Amino acid sequence: MSATSPQETTGTAAPARVTVEQLMGPPTTTVEPTAHLAAAAYLMKRDGASALIVTTDDGSRRPVAILTDTDITQAVADGRDLGDTRINQVVTAEPLTVDVGTELRQAAELMLSGHVHHLPVVRDGSLVGLVDMTGVCRALL
C-alpha cells in the first residue's frame, strides 16, 4: 500500500507559495531616530513588541534602522541612561528588509545569514509590516 498526498486524493493543485505578506503582522509601531530609549521601551511594552522600526520622518515610512529588545537590554547592561540615550546612538542603520512577495524560506535564510530575528517588510520601499524568526519558523514547520 502506498501513501498518497492530499493533493493526489482530491485532485487539487499544490499549495501556492507562502510569502512574508501572508505572515507579517500589521504595520508595526515606528519611532524616530532621535527618540529616547526610555520612550522606545515604553512603546514596546505598551504594544507587546520585541522590536520597533525606525523610519524616516519624510512621510515615506522607509525603514532606516530597527530597535530590538536586545538593543535596550544591552544599553542597560552598558550603564546607559535610557532617558538620555537616543535610538540612533545604539542601532545599526540600514536594516535588512524583504519585499512583500518574498517567500518564507528566503526570509528565513536571510535572517539566518544576517543574524537577525526581525525583518521589516516593505512595498516599494515603504514599511508595511514586520516578520520575526518565531513566526517564520512556525509557518515553515
Confidence of residue 141 (pLDDT cuts 50, 70, 90): confident
pTM of structure? 0.80
What confidence tens digit (pLDDT) does each residue in 36-79 have? 999 999 999 999 989 999 987 777 788 999 999 999 999 999 99
Q: Return the sign of the alpha-carbon dihedral for residues 98, 103, 105, 106.
A: negative
Residues 6+ positions from 117 with CB-CB distance below 8 Å: 50, 51, 68, 111, 132, 133, 134
Q: Tabulate helix, strand, coil % of the chain (nearest 5).
A: 35, 25, 40
User: Which of these, 66, 93, 87, lies nearest to 75 by C-alpha position?
Assistant: 87
CA dist 122 → 50, 53, 58 (Å):
19, 12, 16
Indicate whether 136 pLDDT > 60: yes
pLDDT in tens, 121-131: 999 988 999 99
Residue 9 confidence (pLDDT) above 70: no
Question: 21: which 3 cell numbers?
Answer: 505578506
